[in-house]
Chains A and B, each alone.
Chain A
Amino acid sequence: MADPAVEMRGVSHRYTSDPVLRDIDLTIEQGEVFGFLGHNGAGKTTAVNILTTLLVPSAGTARVCGYDVVADRRKVTECIGYLPSDVRLYDHMTATENLEFFAKLSGVSDPRKAAAGTLDYLGSSDLGPLRMSTFSTGMRQRIGIAQAIVHQPRVLFLDEPTSGLDPTGVRQLRETISRLNGELGMTVFMNTHLLSEVARVCSTIGVLNHGELIYKDSMAKTTERFPNEASLEDIYERMESRPA
């Protein structure tokens, strides 16, 4: 049986005295689109920072694609793509130059071809020769996703990918995520506040409340479990209001 895409066992983290993550146990199978929900300060970004090897957890172990994020950092970085929130790339470089740079950092054998192919796949070839400084938020986000997938990772981490996007941008992002998952088989781990998008795109959801994972299940079972709720927002509020 294949290794889970993401596996966290007893992961805790603290920046100062207060813990940001508390004893998280989470498994995400390959091919899933996972929506990680939680209020501001719940610890979602910290969890992604640990899974993308940027942060060493204070306790517990985390594995991505079967590799430990601390002991096998290099192996983990080879199989992940990451788009932070509020993405900004090198303003003085063109979109293509940025993509080639990140492709080279990932050890892609033909960075030029990879950059052109990725832009073409996302329908953004027209942005390639333009400098990033001239881009709108939506355009930056498209190139941000392109840099995250230019080396064709197995697991894609998106941190608040819809922030700052207009409704058209949100729709395009939703379509992109569905395509990456459906056509390329990428596992997607998405931190978000936009619950309506989670309902449309994600196959599984998890809810983080003050550093604790209070809920995790498939979208199908979630809607089954909360049959009387009118929308995902209601389910989310009900889960968060439950005592931890």
Chain B
Amino acid sequence: MTRVIATQLLLTLRRQRTFLALLVTLLVMTALAGLIGWISHRTIFKVYDQAVLLLAKTGSPAPPNPFDTRPTLALLSNMVIYIPLIGALMALVLGHLSLADDESSGIGRMIFSRRVSRRNYVAGKMLGATTALAAIMAASLVVSVVSLLIVNGAILSAADLGRLVLFYLLSLTYLMAFALVGMVSVLLTRRRSMALLLALGVWLVLTFAIPQFTSGLRPTASLNPITDPVSTSQTFFDVTARARPLSVSEQYKEASTRILEIGTAESVSATTLRILPTGGLVLVLAALTVLLVDRHDYSRSSAHE
């Protein structure tokens, strides 16, 4: 039964225009991330070459190009921003669509008048959503590899490919949290529009509000992978700095930059600790979804007497 429910969800998603539009946007952004990385890389090298020429004219020795040692995957650094923005939004819509039809059109009543248990149903929905997100992440991985191949003119090393796969696995976990937010919001509200608004509200809080607060209210913090806040003796900033581990979005970005080797180096255990809040959130939301489906009154999904 779980597989039947999951297959139906995948078939429906494949035909949803809203979902397809978000998917295409994410894939285009993946390709753009490579292109933007390549353009900035080329600009920096041009500036360096001009500086070398100027130094040669004055007879000064040219220092080595500091960007020569930049990791290959640094070209994809913008993906660390696109996933929490566009990817999370797409996952949210996916989670919403997974349950909204069954809820608003009364299909749930027909499903549960069959020999389907609530557990099978929710497991099927989660399996379908995870499969859809995994397929999207796999497509994004392929686009990333091809972009890097075109830009660098060389095949990725096994280590870099491994890092890229790890990054997309982390992203899959992160997006699953938002898919579950989409599902939970449908189960908590009676109206479809309210469910979407609630989910968007949670996305805004997790993506913008909490990172802003936990990074000492620095205006660019919600968009860029950030370094530790400037040390300060003020209590407020001390509190916000201590709350940072709770910011799932920030922890995802920081863990991603470490995996892609574009952030300050740290131990594997430290990076693993950064992943824990995302994993924890997924587990909590999954348990909440199961509980809500178990207790949901599907007999009232359309007008009753």
* Residues of A in contact with B (beta carbons under 8 Å apart): 20, 40-46, 49, 52-55, 74, 77-78, 80, 82-93, 97, 101-102, 104-107, 147-148, 157
Residues of B within 8 A of A104 (CB): 4
Nearest chain A residue, comparing its CB with the CB of B97: A92
B114/A88 in contact, CB under 8 A: no
Set A45, A78, A87, A97: member contacting B304, Cβ < 8 A:
A45
Determine which of B101, B106, B115, B297 lies in contact with A84 in the assembled complex, contact meaning CB atoms within 8 Å.
B106
Chain A proximity mask over B178-206: 1 for CB below 8 Å, otherwise 0: 00000000000000000000000000000
Show 16 A/B contacts (Cβ-Cβ < 8 Å), sorted by A: A41-B305, A45-B303, A46-B304, A54-B299, A55-B297, A77-B115, A77-B116, A84-B106, A88-B105, A88-B106, A89-B110, A90-B8, A93-B15, A97-B11, A102-B110, A107-B115
Q: A105 touching B299 by the CB < 8 A rule? A: no
Interface positions of B from 85 to 133, Cβ below 8 Å from A: 101, 105-107, 109-116
The yes or no answer to B298 lying at the interface (CB within 8 A) is: yes
Q: With A97-B11, A101-B4, A104-B4 as given contacts, are A84 and B302 in contact (CB-CB < 8 Å)? A: yes
New A-B pairs, 11, CB < 8 Å, besides A46-B299, A55-B299: A40-B305, A45-B305, A54-B109, A54-B112, A77-B114, A83-B110, A84-B302, A85-B302, A86-B106, A88-B107, A93-B12
Q: How far is the CA of A82 from the CA of B114 in the complex (A)?
A: 9
Contact B305 A44, beta carbon cutoff 8 Å = yes
CA distance A86 to B110 in the complex (A): 12
Most buried by A among B1, B12, B101, B107: B107
Chain B residues contacting A82 (CB-CB under 8 Å) are 109-110, 113
Cβ proximity bits B229-243 to A, threshold 8 Å, 1 near / 0 not: 000000000000000
| B300 → chain A closest CB, angstroms | 8
B3 → A minimal CB distance (Å): 9
Kindly list chain B residues whose C-beta atoms are within 8 Å of the C-beta of A55. Answer: 297, 299
Tally of contacts, chain A with chain B, CB under 8 A:
84
Q: Are B305 and A90 in contact (CB under 8 A)?
A: no
Q: Is B8 in contact with A101, judged by CB distance below 8 angstroms? A: yes
**A53, chain B: closest CB distance, angstroms:** 6
0/1 interface trace, chain B 1-29, chain A, CB 8 Å (1 if under):
10010001001100110000000000000
- Bound together, the chains give a CA A43 to CA B302 distance in angstroms of 15
- Decide if A105 touches B107 in the complex (CB within 8 Å): no
Q: List, in ascending order, chain B residues with CB within 8 A of A83's CB.
A: 110
Q: Show the binding face of B for A, using Cβ within 8 Å.
A: 1, 4, 8, 11-12, 15-16, 101, 105-107, 109-116, 297-299, 302-305
Q: Which of A83, A101, A148 counts the most B-chain CB atoms under 10 A from its CB?
A: A101
- Contact A46 B11, beta carbon cutoff 8 Å: no
Decide yes or no: A105 and B111 within 8 Å by CB, A49-B299, A54-B299 being known contacts.
yes
Chain B residues within 8 Å of A93, by CB: 8, 11-12, 15
Task: Compute how far the CA of A78 lies from the CA of B114 in the bound complex, rounded to whole angstroms.
Answer: 7
Report which of B106, B109, B114 forms a contact with A105, defined as CB distance below 8 A: B114
Say which residue of B101, B298, B305 sits within 8 Å of A43 (CB atoms): B305
| Residue on A nearest B304 in the bound complex, by CB | A45
Task: Check A78 against B115 for contact (C-beta < 8 Å).
Answer: yes
B106 and A90 contacting across the interface, CB-CB below 8 Å: no
Choose from A53, A88, A89, A92 the contact partner of B113 (Cβ within 8 Å). A53
Give Cα A89–Cα B104 distance, bound, in whole angstroms: 11
With contacts A85-B303, A88-B107, A92-B15 taken as known, whether A105 is within 8 angstroms of B116 at the C-beta atoms is yes
Q: B12, B114, B297: which contacts A102 (Cβ < 8 A)? A: B114
Question: What are the residues of chain A within 8 A of B8 when measuring CB–CB?
Answer: 90, 93, 101
Least CB separation from B305: chain A residue: A45
CB distance from B284 to the nearest CB of A (A): 28
Q: Looking across the interface, which residue of chain A has its beta carbon closest to that of B104?
A: A88
Q: Min CB distance, A96 to chain B, in Å?
A: 12
Q: State whether B304 touches A49 (Cβ < 8 A).
A: yes
CB distance from A129 to the nearest CB of B (A): 14
B112 interface neighbour in A53, A85, A87, A157, Cβ under 8 Å: A53
